[in-house]
Chain A
Amino acid sequence: MNFKELQKQLKAMEGVSKLSLVRDNVIKIDLERSTSKDFFIKMKEECYFEHCSLITAIDNQPNFELVYHLSCLSGELKVGDTKMAAMLEVHVNLERDSPSIDSVSDLWFGANWHEREAFDLMGIYFIGHPDLRRVLLPEGFAGHPLRKDYVYEIHEEEW
């Protein structure tokens, strides 16, 4: 498959909107939350995106935004004549009341800890995640501190 063919294929897909090129080898798209799992399965199985580089959560008040960075390192998706790795930047908009989305940690195992981090700091629930615990903060921490409306307290201990 070619990089241009991939763009055509993405445009025809259900739930995909606002396709644009960030750089020569990076496509940016917006994705509907409900069709996300089918989309990612197709990306993994048919479109050669065998590596999930990053999952980030952003708090654009009032809604949350998840950003997935997928990359094809095998060279199957040729970007012109160059040897650049094709990348895909997927933005998903989430409601603030119930920020949840299907987990992709069964497709890319590296996504496991990215999702745990997004859950830990931003409080986004990944449905079907095998082990959704806090990863950076201690157990029993209250709240999700990277949310814009989080109010911190200074903890002190007697000695």
Chain B
Amino acid sequence: MSAKGIRGNIDLRRGLGSKTTDREKIMEDGPAGDWLALRSDQLLKWIDDAVYNASEATGMREVVDRVTRPIFNFAQRFSPHPLHFGIMCCAIEMGQASAPDHDIDRLGLVYRSSPRQCDVLIVNGPVCEKLRPKLKTLYEQMPEPKWVIAMGECAISGGPYWDSYSVVAGADTFMPVDVYIPGCPVRPEALMHGFLTLQKKIREKEPGMFLRR
């Protein structure tokens, strides 16, 4: 089957995912429904829409969601991979938490060096004005679902530097924070407790297969 042949076929061009059935508007849109002419992210969205619409129409969505939700939830709860990113002294405690004394690996926490492979961003220190856009970029590079832990007084409110000219008054002034861990610096046990709290939060929120809906 050649690409040209598909291009001419309006029924294929419309696609399962596209909402409109107006022929002329579809023609204007260009490659909106033509899955061979889509970019990779558009193609993913197209597949997502198609699967969603099909499952919704047949009533399978409820069934699949019921079945897969506990599995996805279990997987997310017991493997929240944090980003290996240290700002200040709380980073030392983060390192201590993964040392043999408080072996944090047994909670399924494996530090990853790339934000593309991470679920949790630990903000462990004061965020200065120069770091803020970089931290925001790291947060935006992480795939959904993602969570943020504000570790220590500096990340919660700015701590002793709250009225500084260059330190941001808390990480929640520029990104959503899920768990706050007080302490200066935070002890490794407190960090573990923070991750257990995050597990509870994930269990309550129960994100499943159709998280984006």
Contacts and interface: CB of A to CB of B under 8 A. Distances in A.
Interface of A: 136-138, 141, 145, 150, 152, 154-157, 159
Given A137-B166, A159-B175, 7 more contacts: A145-B165, A155-B168, A156-B173, A157-B132, A157-B173, A157-B174, A159-B174
Given A150-B165, A155-B168, A141 B173 contact: no
A137 B129 contact: yes
Nearest to B158: A154
7 contacts: A137-B166, A138-B130, A155-B168, A156-B173, A157-B173, A159-B174, A159-B176
Nearest to B168: A155
Contacts of B132: 157
B39 to A, nearest CB: 27
Interface of B: 129-130, 132, 163-166, 168-169, 173-176
B169 A145 contact: no
A138 B166 CA distance: 9
A138 B130 CA distance: 5
Contacts of A138: 129-130
B120 to A, nearest CB: 18
Nearest to B162: A154
Query: In the complex, which of the residues B166, B169, B175, B176 has the most CB atoms of chain A within 10 Å of its own CB atom?
Result: B166
Contacts of A159: 174-176
B166 A154 contact: no
Given A138-B129, A138-B130, A145 B166 contact: yes
Nearest to B131: A138
Contacts of B166: 136-137, 145
A108 B121 CA distance: 43
A141 B129 CA distance: 10
